[in-house]
Amino acid sequence: MTAQLIDGNALSKQLRTEVATRAQALKAQGVKPGLAVVLVGDNPASQVYVRNKVKACEDSGLHSVLEKYEATMTEADLLARVEALNNDPAIHGILVQLPLPAHIDAQKVIEAISPAKDVDGFHIASAGALMTGMPGFWPCTPYGCMKMLDSIGYDLRGKHAVVIGRSNIVGKPMALMLLQKDATVTVAHSRTQNLKALTLQADVIVAAVGKRNVLTADMVKPGAVVLDVGMNRNDEGKLCGDVDFDGVKEVAGYITPVPGGVGPMTITMLLVNTLEAAERASK
């Protein structure tokens, strides 16, 4: 293996220790940072995600509330809960776990969250803040990727970054964050022609597609930094990313593994955002 591993578990541990220290400082001022996680329905993957988020809060000394509702909950009732949490001074961050049942308009619910408590960074005000370089909450997954680049001291100025995927929660905000750090950014998607020609020019590649082997060794410039956001299952049912890890690690300069890469960073950045929300509210 030539590539150095960017270890998301180790970096998360370090960042979560910092969160715990800052949370203690806030508590000394009488403020306990609090996150409300709202789950509607019984999607098994969502249940695991929310459990992990609540546990991560507890481990870092943050207050957390898990609100679980039946899949039959009405949109009006959910909007009323969000409004109550907006007005609850013990809650600094609100996360409504997606996907929501089909009868609920997810965007409407996200827009109902106060931007000051939008720790997922999905509110249109948060997206606008990111786009214009104003203070706001950054979506946790691409924010975690930026922290991973920071952790290796990577200077993005003038570098060519290729982001594969253009979703509102990963690809687009990732591209904006890289642009903010003066990278030259190319965004690829399902209609992109000759992806390999683009990735071969890239100093940094972020794969956020949700398909195995989207990025293989022949598509990577020697020494490039490769961040793998994808979460897929291989033929044995094991978690894997979008990147052919075994091949690409022989060419890249740095690479994130799956599992143990971007995944743990996502929850860590949720804690960071929640802490930040509490710090801002206490000023």
Distance, in Å, from the CA atom of 200 to the CA atom of 162, rounded to the nearest integer, reads 9
- Find the binder of ligand NAP among 46, 114, 180, 192 (CB under 6 A): 192
CA atoms within 13 A on the CB side of 266: 21
Q: What is the smallest separation between the CB atom of 228 and ligand NAP, expressed in angstroms?
A: 8
Distance (Å, whole) CA 273 – CA 283:
15
Q: How far apart are CA 34 and CA 117, in angstroms?
A: 10
Residues 107-166 that bind ligand NAP (CB under 6 A): 141, 164-166
Q: Is 165 annotated as a binding residue?
A: yes
The question of whether 117 is a catalytic residue gets the answer no
Q: State whether residue 72 is helix, strand or coil.
A: coil
- Residue 93 near residue 122 (C-beta atoms within 8 A): no
Q: 165 CB contacts (<8 Å, ≥6 apart)? A: 171, 188, 189, 206, 207, 208, 209, 210, 229
Q: Is 230 in the site for ligand NAP (CB under 6 A)?
A: yes
Q: Can you tell me the distance from the alpha carbon of 216 to that of 219, in angstroms, rounded to the nearest whole number?
A: 6
Question: From the list 76, 132, 191, 237, which residue makes contact with ligand NAP (rule: CB under 6 A)?
Answer: 191
Number of chain residues interacting with ligand NAP (CB under 6 A): 26
Among 61, 171, 173, 253, binds ligand NAP (CB under 6 A): 171
The active-site residue out of 53, 117, 147, 159 is 53
Q: Which residue number, 136 or 165, has a Cβ lying nearer to ligand NAP?
A: 165
Using the rule CB under 6 A, which residue among 41, 101, 115, 210 binds ligand NAP? 210
How open is the CA angle 211-216-217, to the nearest 5 degrees?
A: 160
Task: Decide: is 54 part of the binding site for ligand NAP (CB under 6 A).
Answer: no
Residue 50 within binding range of ligand NAP, rule CB under 6 A: no
Q: Which of 205, 209, 226, 270 binds ligand NAP (CB under 6 A)?
A: 209
Which residues contribute to the annotated binding site for NADP(+)?
165-167
Which residues contribute to the annotated binding site?
165-167
